[in-house]
Amino acid sequence: NRKNALFACHDEGAKAWGRIASLIETAKINGVEPFPYLKGTLKAIAGGHPNDRLDELLLWNYAA
């Protein structure tokens, strides 16, 4: 994981990679498959999930 961040080539790219890597590792720790979680969450946000209900999209509230 750390070696992948070396190829970000820019500070902002490295920050973005750090955020994504953090989400992936947090999902793994919580026993959630990262890809379906990220896919479902991004799909919900793109589909107009209400801002006042974003807590439903948090990892510990995720139900596959």
pLDDT for residue 6? 57
Is pTM beyond 0.75? Reply is no
pLDDT for residue 9? 65
pLDDT for residue 2? 56
Give me the helices (H) in 1-64, please: 2-5, 11-29, 34-46
pLDDT (tens place) for every residue of the chain, 64 residues total: 555 555 556 677 778 888 888 989 999 988 899 999 999 999 999 999 999 998 998 888 876 5
Q: Give φ, ψ of 40 to 5 degrees.
A: -65, -40
